[in-house]
Structure formats: C-alpha cells, structure tokens
Amino acid sequence: MLKYCQLVIFVLIIMATQVKKKHIPKGVRLGWTPLKDVQPVKLTPELVKGERVAADRPGEQNSSNTKNSYLIP
Amino acid sequence: MTFDYPGYPLKFVQKKPCRDNSAHLFTLIYKFYSPVTRYHYVLNADYYEENVFALKFYAKKDRRSDYKYSKLTNKGDVGNILITCLKVIPLILMDYPNVSFGFVGSRTIDKASRTVEDFKNNQRFRVYRKIVEKKVGFHIFEHFTYEFISGYLLINKHGQQSIENRLKAIIKMFADTYQDLPGL
C-alpha cells in the first residue's frame, strides 16, 4: 500500500514537472494567409494553365491491379 | 494507397434549375450518410453550358455556412466520402453520356489561427488528384490538372468536337462565369 502511494506520488510529480509543448496551429506552421488579409484573385489565362495527365504513368496504367480497381474505366 | 473503399449509397434528391442568367443551368442534388462520421452530406453536381458538371460536396450541418466547402469536420472517413462522390460520375453518365466533369479543391480554413490556405496546390487538391488517378481511368476521360487554382478536369473523350476545342470552351466559360477567384 505504501509503495503504491509512493508510486502514485512519483507519477504525479513527473507529470507536474513535464514541460508542456506549445501547440502551434497548422495555419501558422504552414504560413497561411490571415483571414483579414484575404483578397479576391482575378482569373487570367496565365493562372488557368493546365497540364494533361499522362495516361501511361510509370508503374500504374499497365498494372492489372490498377485497372481492376478503377471505379470509372 | 489504393483507396479501395466501398463508399456509401447515393440518393438523388432533386434537379434544381438555376435562373441567374449565368452559364450555370441546373444542379443535380444528391445526399449520402457516413456512419463513421455520423454526418449527412450533400453532393451538388452543377451543370454548365459546354456540357460540363462541377462536383461539390459539404456536410449537411454546414449547409448555411459561407465556408461550407472549406471546413474540416475532423471526423475522418475521407476515403469512403470521396469514393461516394466519385460514384456520382457513372450515375450521371447514364443520362448525360458525353458530359465532362470538373472539381476544385477548396482552401482549408484553420479556425485556431484564423488563417486560410493558398489557392495553389492545396491539400484537398492533392488528395483529390491522388484518388482520381487511382480510381478514374483514361477510357472515357482525358485528365487535366490546374495546379494554380487546385482544379481538376475530366474531359469526356466522346463528343463531336475535339478534346482541345471542348477544353478551351470549358475554360473560357468558367473564366467568364467566375472572373475572380473569391477571397473565400
């Protein structure tokens, strides 16, 4: 009983002395824009420039497993 | 990751006409439920001139929020939810066999820091791109990505005009309809 109480007290002391890590929000870590600074962006042809996705992706398209798992052929 | 999730049943709700004199002509509204998150979801397929649907979805609880497409529920089940959204494509193709599809990854809002993600190559787009690459083949659609606006287009190969012409027309239509990328 005494040893149990000693163990509990020991654990409580350890928990109290642990330095709590400050949680940094994801938006701050990743450098996102503050909501108050958000502005609309005018669409231009330079912005709307697309890339065709290649059908013959290496290791993917020719794999029978990949073809079988397609939801839409 | 193979995204081999079964998804959930989609229920058609209604076809809602759009009378704002824009290129957006009507919306097909579907709903589904996730027993994992215990949320109901609404999936909107907005039909535009140039024979293209834009797919959007949100949790029904957020339906009145201006940020409904940007919110995170943090309840998980993303695989089943996204597969369910993709399952609408073959449903729509039954009635509109030559139609194309597009979707954009919405920017995520971080409530804790009151910040918002960039337009370019955002986290939703990165996930959508991965899942589409795994689940949508090249027999029916040509795939195009627009990283700067986190957009993805599936252009239907079956159509009277060439893919390039239809792609240009769709891009022009969207650019004319949505001349600004909104702040949010």
Q: What is the 3-state secondary structure (H, E, C) of A6-24?
A: HHHHHHHHHHHHCCCCCCC
Determine, for residues B112 and A27 on separate chains, whether the beta-carbon distance falls below 8 Å: yes
The answer to whether B54 and B48 are in contact (CB under 8 A) is yes
- Entry pTM: 0.86
The parent domain of residue B120 ranges over: 11-177
Within the 73-102 window of chain B, which residues sit less than 8 Å (CB to CB) from chain A? 83, 86-87, 89-90, 93
Determine, yes or no, domain membership for B171: yes
Determine, yes or no, domain membership for B2: no
Determine, yes or no, domain membership for B1: no
Please report the pLDDT score of residue A57 as a whole number.
59
Determine, for residues A43 and B87 on separate chains, whether the beta-carbon distance falls below 8 Å: no
Distance CA B83, CA B7 (A): 5
Please report the pLDDT score of residue B129 as a whole number.
95
The tens digit of pLDDT for each residue in A7-65 reads 888 888 877 776 667 789 999 999 999 989 888 887 777 777 889 998 875 545 445 55
Distance CA B72, CA A59 (A): 33
pLDDT band, residue B175 (cuts 50/70/90) = confident
Determine, yes or no, domain membership for B182: no
Tokens 């979707």 map to which residue?
B103
Q: Least CA distance to A68: which residue of chain B?
A: B135
Determine, yes or no, domain membership for B46: yes
Q: Least CA distance to A65: which residue of chain B?
A: B2
Please report the pLDDT score of residue A44 as a whole number.
74
Determine, yes or no, domain membership for B90: yes
Average pLDDT over residues B69-92: 95
pLDDT band, residue A68 (cuts 50/70/90) = low
Please report the pLDDT score of residue B14 as a whole number.
98
Please give the ipTM for the structure prediction: 0.81
Determine, yes or no, domain membership for B143: yes
Q: How many domains does chain B have?
A: 1
Angle, CA of B160, B89 and B15, to the nearest 5°: 90
Determine, for residues B180 and A32 on separate chains, whether the beta-carbon distance falls below 8 Å: no
The tens digit of pLDDT for each residue in B16-72 reads 999 999 999 999 999 999 999 999 999 999 999 999 999 999 999 999 999 999 999
The tens digit of pLDDT for each residue in B100-129 reads 999 999 999 998 999 999 989 999 999 999
Average pLDDT, chain B: 93
Determine, yes or no, domain membership for B184: no
Tokens 């990505």 map to which residue?
B145
The answer to whether B116 and B184 are in contact (CB under 8 A) is yes
Please report the pLDDT score of residue B183 as a whole number.
62
Which helix (DSSP H) or strand (DSSP E) does residue B125 occupy?
Answer: helix B123-135
Q: With 0-12 CB in 10 A as exposed, 13-18 as middle and 19+ as buried, what is B128?
A: buried
Distance CA A65, CA B116 (A): 38
Please report the pLDDT score of residue A61 as a whole number.
47
